[in-house]
Structure 1
Amino acid sequence: MDVHERFNETYPFGEHLGLEVTRVEEGYVEGKIELEAHHSLSESTLLAHGAVPFGLADSLSAAALASVEGAPGPTLDVRIDYLRPATGDIYGSAEVVRYGAETGVVEAEIVDADDRTLATTRGVYKTNMVDGNNPFVDS
């Protein structure tokens, strides 16, 4: 299954978030979430809960890793720096900066429609290829 199909068609949490993966290259992905009322912290204004940009960054990071090995691995650790609030649609990119036999490191950036950085992440993910299979996805 390719990354577009996995993350746009068969990823329940991504569907819940409204995630759309828009670009995939080996070790790099882009995507977006169109902000809706159910993402908001407030009834009176559209202001995304911090879990929304985090969910986009973490999901895109897993997709970037999947673009290298064919399937996403579980998140081991992520640091997120929130730089400004998300008050509209959010866009992200994630790039694998290290891919090893046991772990991979992925950096992501989340921006708004004006290309202002909303958040950045650096995450460590378990790489999972064991005899050509991913035990977390293929079991």
Structure 2
Amino acid sequence: MTAFDADDAAAFIQSYVDDHGFLSFLDLEVEDVEEGEMTMRVPYHEKLANHGVGRGNVHGGIAATLIDTAGGLSVRTALDDPVEAGVATIDLNVSYLRPARGDLVAEAEVVRVGSTVGVAEVTVEAEPHDNGDEDEAYEVAVGRGSFRVFRSD
């Protein structure tokens, strides 16, 4: 990919997700990709929920995974050659705001990409199901990741 093409980028990223064991297990879906921005979703499933206290709440690790994945991949879309380049997480900060019930949707935006490090901020919202207490989406976590950039050149 030489010039950024959102459709090509979304297809490439979804293929990457589908081939990745853990992300595929989560049923992670790429919803939107723009240069330096990304929206991803993990549909609610009981396999992702806590048991006991907080039963039915999505495990916090799912939100952290979304922040890490959406943040890193959004940095990758900001590179000259996102297909051949790569990123690796070097720092991740997650702040949990509320328990999550329902699908989780992450919106990532690149803050800056330098020669060796990129930074992205991510907001995760829960889109509740019919049986939840909430009737509209609400923020459940925010985060920031720093990613080592591996350029193809």
Question: With structure 2 as the length reference, what TM-score do the two structures score?
Answer: 0.78
Q: Which has the larger radius of gyration?
A: 2
1:86 partner SS = coil
Cα distance per residue 1:53-96 (max 9 Å; x no partner): 11111111122012122144111001110000111111111011
Structure 1 residues 72 and 116, CA gap change in structure 2 (3 angstroms):
farther
Aligned residue identity for 1:116: Y
Q: Is 1:54 matched with 2:64?
A: yes
Q: Which residue of 1 aligns with 2:31?
A: 22
Of 130, 139, 146, 1:117 maps to 139
Q: Is 1:85 matched with 2:99?
A: yes
Unaligned 5+ runs, structure 2: 1-8, 128-135
Superposition map of 1:1-139 within 5 A: 2-7=12-17, 9-42=18-51, 45-69=55-79, 70=82, 71-113=85-127, 114-131=136-153
Shift of 1:49: 1.1
Aligned residues: 130
Shift of 1:48: 1.1
Identical amino acids, percent of aligned pairs: 28
1:65 partner SS = helix
Unaligned 5+ runs, structure 1: 132-139
- 60-69 vs 96-105, which moves further: 60-69
2:38 partner SS = strand
Runs of 4 or more, structure 1, over 6 Å off, are none
Question: With structure 1 as the length reference, what TM-score do the two structures score?
Answer: 0.85
